[in-house]
Structure 1
Amino acid sequence: MHRLTRDEARRIAVRAQLLDADRPGDVVEVAEQIAAIKIDPTAVIAPSEQSICWSRIGWAYEPGQLSKAVEGDRLLFEYDGHFRPASLLPALRAVMPGRRLGGSTRQYLEANAAFRAEILRRLEREGPLPASEIPDTSVVQVKNESGWYGANQVPRMLELMSYLGDVAISGRIGRQRVWDLPDRVYGARDAEMDPADAEDVLAARRLQALGIAREKSSWSGVGTAGEPAEVEGSAWRWRVDPEALAARGDDPGGRAAILNPYDRMLFDRPRLTELFEFTYVLEQFKPKHQRVYGYFAHPILVGDRFVGLLDAALDKKKENLVVSAVHELVPLDDDEREMAHAEVRDLGEWLGVPVRGLD
C-alpha cells in the first residue's frame, strides 16, 4: 500500500495530464499519454480538441498538426467522440463488438438490421462517404426527444455502428465526418486480442492518463489497474500508476494552464473535489440568470491548484479575445496572478488576436 500526501497525489495527477512545466512536443505525445482528446464543436474560444492540445504543447502547437496526425500519418484515430492514439487500436477493436447497449438501443438495431447491412454494402461498393450521401432506409426511428438528432436516422445508425466496430471515421470535411469500413481505416488486424486482456490494457491506459484515481470508479474506469494507494486525509481506496509513482521525485515544477471545460483533467468531477478541493460546474446549459462564472468558463490551474475561472470568448468577427472576468477562487499572490494572466495573453497570441478586458 503506497501512502501519499495530498500534494503528492495532486502532482501525480497534474503530471499525468501533461500540465506541469515539462511540456510535450507534439499531438501524438499528448494522445499517447492522456489516451483521449475530446472532440466538441463548441468554440467559445476554440474547439475542445484544439485547446486541449494547446493547453499541453503551448505556442508551438498549430491546429493543422492534429488533422495531419489523424488523416495523414494515421497515428491517431477518431472513435466515440475522441481522437485516440493508434496504439490503443488492438485493445479497442477487441472490445468494440461486445460493447453493452441499453435494451431500447438493442431493439432499434434489431429492427433496423437491413438498414445496417445496407450501409455496410454501400460503403464497401462506394468507399468513404459522409452521412449526407447515405439514404435513410430505416424501419424504426428514434424519437428526437434529446434534440441531438434530426429525423434522419443515418447519423444515429453510423454512430452506433462505429461504437460496435462495424464502421470507422476515415476523416472529416470541415466538421462533417466521413465514414468507411474499419479495415480500410485502421488496417487489417494481424491477430485479435482476447477481450478480457483488452479490458485490462484499457484500464491501465486510463490510469496512466489520470496518474491516480479512485478504485472501481465509474468516472475513471481504472478498476484494479496499477497499485493500491492511500491519500492523506481521504477515506477513498485509490489506484496509482506505477510509472507515475516511480517518477514523483523527478518533479519539473508547475505552471499555469487554461483548460477547456471538456478537458480530460476535469472529467472525473468527484476526484476534482476530493484531491483538488475544486467543485466545477459547467454552466453552459443553465439559464443565463443562474450563471455565476459564465456560459463556458475555462478553469485555470496554477501549479497543482485550481485558482480561478476564465470567462472569455472570441468576438463575433473573431478579431479579439474578450475577457469578461477572471474569477479568482482562492487568494493569489502577485506572481500567481501574473502567471494566470500571462497564460491568457498567450492564449490570445496563439489565436492570433488581441486580448481585451484583461486587467
Structure 2
Amino acid sequence: MIELSARDARRLAVSAQLLARPRPHDLIGTAAGLGAVQVDHTAHVAPSAELVLWSRLGSRVSRAAIEDAIGSGRLVEIRGFLRPARDVALFTAEMAAWPGPDPPAYRVAEERWVHANRHARDEILEQLRADGPLPARELSADFAVDWRSSGWNDTKNVPMMLERLEERGEVAVSHRLGRERVWDLAARIHPDEPPVPLEQALAERSRRRLRALGLARVKGPACPVEPLDVGEVGEPARVAGVRGEWRVDPALLHTPFSGRTALLSPLDRLVLDRRRMEEIFGFDYALEMYKPAAQRIWGYYALPVLHLDRLVGKVDARADREDGVLRVDRLHEDAPWSGSVRSAVEVELRSLARFLDLGLVLPGRKG
C-alpha cells in the first residue's frame, strides 16, 4: 500500500493534469495527456474545452488552432468529449457491441426503441449519406414510436436517434455551430483503424484515465461516458487524513513538482469530481449558473484558481463582447492572497484576455 501525504496527493493530481511546470507544447499531445476534454459551449467566458486547453498551453494555443484541430479531424468528439482521433480505436469495439453484454434496463429500452424505428434510422443515415454533414434540425424521418422521457427530450425523436446511432458507431459529430452539433456518417469522421478488442480497450481506457487523473477511486458514481473511477488499474494507496483506498499511477510518483498558477474551467477534470476535489484539495466550490442570482456566492461561471498545489479562490469573470473586454467582476480569495499570488492571477487573466482577443477590466480599474 502506497502512503501519500495530502500534499503528495495534490501534486500528483496537478501534475497528471498537466498543470505544473513546464507547460506542454503540443495541442494534440495535450488533449491525449488529458484523456478527455469535455465539450460545453456555455460562453460566459469561453467554451469549456477552449478554457481547458488554454489553461495548459497558454500562449502556445489559439482558438483558431483548436477549431482547426476539430475541423481537420485531428480531434474528434465522442459523446460530448474531445479526444485525439487515434483514440477512436479504443471505442469502436464498444460501439459495435452496443448495447453491450448484460445491459442495464434503460439500454434495453433504448435498443427496443431503435429497433422499432429501424425505418427512421435508415432514413436518417441515407440523408446523411447523400447530403451530410447536417444538424438535427435539417433531418427528418417517419418514426413509428416517439421517444418518451419525463423531461426535456420528450418526443425529440431525431436528436435522440442520432445519439443512439453515435453510441452504435454509425454517426459522429462533424463539428459544431455554436452549441448545435452537426452530424455525419461516422465512416467519414473516424479514422479507418482496426478496433482494439473490447476488454483490452476498456482496460487501456482505465489506465489512461488514471494517468490523466494521477489518483482516483476504485469505484465511483455512475458516469457512463467518462467514468470518475478506474477499477483495479494502478497501485493501491492511502492518503493521509482521507478515508478509503485510492489507486495511483506509480509512474507519476517520483516526478519532480514545480507548480504554477492557473485559471480553470468549472468543468476541468481537476475539479470535475467534486468529492475528490473536496477530499484532496479541501476546496469549496460549485458551478452556480443554474442558481438564482441572489443565491450565488462566487458568480455565474466562476473560474477556480490553482496556485502551485492548492486551489486558492475563484474568479468571477465574463466575456463582454459588446464592449470588447474580459470583465472581472470579483476575485474571491479563500484566504488572503499574497502579492505574488495576486500578481500571478493577473498575469493569467491578461493571458486569457489575449486568448479571447479582448481587453481586460479588473475590479476597480478601467482597464
Query: 2:224 is matched with which residue?
Result: none
CA distance in 1, matches of 2:245, 2:284: 20
Alignment map for 1:32-47 (pairs within 5 Å): 32-47=32-47
Instruction: Report what 1:275 is aligned to.
Output: 280
- Residue 107 of structure 1: how far off its partner (Å): 4.0
Give the secondary structure class of the aligned counterpart of 1:178: strand
More divergent stretch after superposition (276-285 vs 100-109): 100-109
Shift of 1:142: 3.1
The yes-or-no answer on 1:319 pairing with 2:324 is yes
Worse overlay, 25-34 or 172-181: 172-181
Residues 1:210 and 2:213 aligned together = yes
Q: Does the 8 A contact of 1:212 with 1:240 survive in 2?
A: yes
Residues 156-178 of structure 1 deviation map (CA, whole Å, 9 limit, x = unaligned): 21122112212112334454433
Structure 2 residue 232 is matched with structure 1 residue 224: yes
Q: State the AA in 1 paired with 2:174.
A: S
CA distance in 1, matches of 2:306, 2:26: 21
Report 1:102-141 matches (<5 A): 102=106, 103-141=108-146
Q: What TM-score, normalized by structure 2, do the two folds share?
A: 0.89
Asked if 1 retains the 8 angstrom alpha-carbon contact of 2:216 and 2:228, the reply is yes
Give the aligned CA root-mean-square deviation in angstroms.
2.1
SS for the counterpart of 2:267 is coil
Q: More deviation in 206-215 or 340-349?
A: 340-349
Contact persistence 2:303–2:314 (CA under 8 A): yes
* 3-state secondary structure, aligned to 1:341: helix
Aligned equivalents of 1:277, 1:237: Cα separation in 2: 18
What secondary structure does 1:306 align onto?
Answer: strand
- What TM-score, normalized to structure 1? 0.91
Please tell me whether the aligned partners of residues 298 and 316 of structure 2 are also in contact (alpha carbons under 8 angstroms): yes
Answer with 178-187 or 266-275: which moved more: 178-187
Deviations 1:246-297 (A, max 9, x none): x42x22x111111111112221111101100013211111111211111111
Which structure 1 residue ranges, 4+ long, deviate > 6 Å from structure 2?
A: none
Conserved? CA contact 1:341–1:358, under 8 Å: no
Aligned residues between the structures: 353
Would you say the 8 A contact 1:312–1:325 is kept in 2? yes
Partners of 1:221 and 1:19 in 2: how far apart? 21
Superposition map of 1:81-120 within 5 A: 81-96=80-95, 97-99=97-99, 100=103, 102=106, 103-120=108-125
1:187-336 equivalences under 5 Å are 187-190=191-194, 192-218=195-221, 220-245=228-253, 247-248=254-255, 250-251=256-257, 253-315=258-320, 317-336=322-341
Residue 146 of structure 1, aligned match among 131, 148, 151: 151
Measure, in 2, the Cα distance between the counterparts of 1:172 and 1:357.
Answer: 32
**Distance change (3 Å), C-alpha of 1:287 and 1:104:** farther
Question: Helix, strand or coil: the match of 1:98?
Answer: coil
Give 3-state SS (helix, strand or coil) of 1:327's partner. Answer: strand
Where does residue 182 of structure 1 map in the other structure? 186
Partners in 2 of 1:352 and 1:71 — Cα distance?
21
2:21 and 2:260 in contact (8 A); partners too:
yes
Residue 164 of structure 1 corresponds to 168
What is the SS of the residue equivalent to 2:91? Answer: helix
Q: CA deviation at 1:227?
A: 1.2
Fraction of identical pairs, as percent: 38
Unpaired runs of at least 5, structure 2:
222-226
